[in-house]
Amino acid sequence: MKRTVTRLADGRELIYFDRRDDAVRDAVDTRPPDGPPAASELRHDPLLDEWVTIAAHRQRRTFLPGDDACPLCPSAPGRPTEIPAADYEVAVLENRFPAFRPEATGGRCEVVCFSSDHRVSFADLPPAQVRTVVEAWADRTAELSATPGVEQVFCFENRGEEIGVTLHHPHGQIYAYPFVPPRTRQMLRAVRRHAERTGGDLFAELLAAERREGARVVVANELWTAFVPHAARWPFEVHLYPHRRVPDIPALDEAERDAFARLYLDVLDRFDRLFDRPAPYVSAWHQAPVREGRDLAWLHLRLFSIRRAADRLKYLAGSEAAMGAFLNDVRPEEAARLLRAAGR
C-alpha cells in the first residue's frame, strides 16, 4: 500500500492511498488559499454530563451541488476541486468545514473519499478497493489516536439524502473527538458493570449468544458475524463483529481485513436489494477510546437504515428524540429474515 501525503493550497492535509507502489501523486492545488477553517466551541451540559459542539461555520458548507460542481471529484482542466489529481483510488483530506480543529477545540475532522467515480456507492466497490479503504481507516485511526488531545477516533459513513447527506460523491468521515462520546461511555459502563458482577465478558457473551441462537444472524464467514441485535433500535440494523476481540481497526490482521471486505459488501448489497432501491443508512465503527476502556472494548461496525418499508421512513419521534427511548416498528427476527432472503 502506497501512502502519499501532500497539502492543499490552504494548508490542509491530503493523503492518497494506492495499491500500486508506482502511483504518482504530484498534482498541485491551483486554487487560491482562502485561509484556515473557522473555529468551533465546546460547551459542557452539566445535567447530562455531555459535550456539545457549537459549529456555526458549518452552516456555510457545500449543500447538494450538481454533479458538475462536486468538490470531491478529481480535478479537471478549468475546474479545480478538493482533490488536485486527475484520478485517485482512495483519498483522505482534512474537512474544509470541521466540527473539531486542533487549534480550537482539539480533535480533527477528515473526509474519506472511497472512489474517484462520482456515480458509485460503497456497495459497488470491488473487494480490493474496500481493502484500500480499510487500510486508510487503519492508518488514520493509528495516527489520530497518537495526536495530543484526541480521546476517540470515529470512522463513519452517512448515505442518502433521507439521512441528511449533502454530497452525493461516495465518501465517509472521520471524527477524532477531543472527548469520549456518550454512546461509548454508556457501552463501556455496561461492560464494566457486567464484568464486576459476573466476571464475564459481555461483548463475547452477546456475540456467542447470537451465533448460537442464529435467528438474528444475517450472514457470517470464518472471521466475522453480521447480525440484527436482540434490542435493535432501527427497523433494519445490523452489527458486524470480528470473532476475535480487538480494540480498533489497526489491530485487525490481514485475514480479518479481507474477510470484513467480503462480508460488508454482502450486507450492503442486501440492504439495497431489500426494497429494490438504494438504502439510506449510517455505517458507524465503534472503536476503543484512546486512553480508557481499551481492555473492555470490542471493535464492531453498526449499520442501520431509516427505511422501514418500501415507501416509509423511520423518523425520530418524541420518545426517541426527546427521551432517547426507542420504539422499533420491525421485529429484529423479521428484519433478519428479510435481510437473509435478500441475499444473492
Q: Which residues are catalytic?
A: 171
DSSP E strand boundaries for the chain: 2-7, 13-18, 41-45, 50-54, 90-94, 108-113, 152-159, 171-177, 217-220, 224-227, 236-242, 281-286, 300-305, 307-309, 312-313
Look at the alpha carbons of 62, 68, 72, 78 in this order and tell me if their dihedral is positive or negative.
negative
| Cα 260 versus chain centre, distance | 14
Q: In Å, how far are 73, 84, 89, 91, 328 from 33, measured between CA atoms?
A: 19, 14, 25, 20, 48
Q: Which residue ranges are tagged as binding site for Zn(2+)? A: 70, 73, 118, 169
Count of all residues that appear for the chain in the document: 344
Q: Which residue ranges are tagged as binding site? A: 70, 73, 118, 169
Measured distance CA(55)–CA(302) in Å, rounded: 26
Kindly write down the DSSP assignment for every residue of 17-34, as one continuous string.
Answer: EESSTT--------SPP-
Which 3 state secondary structure label does DSSP give 11? coil
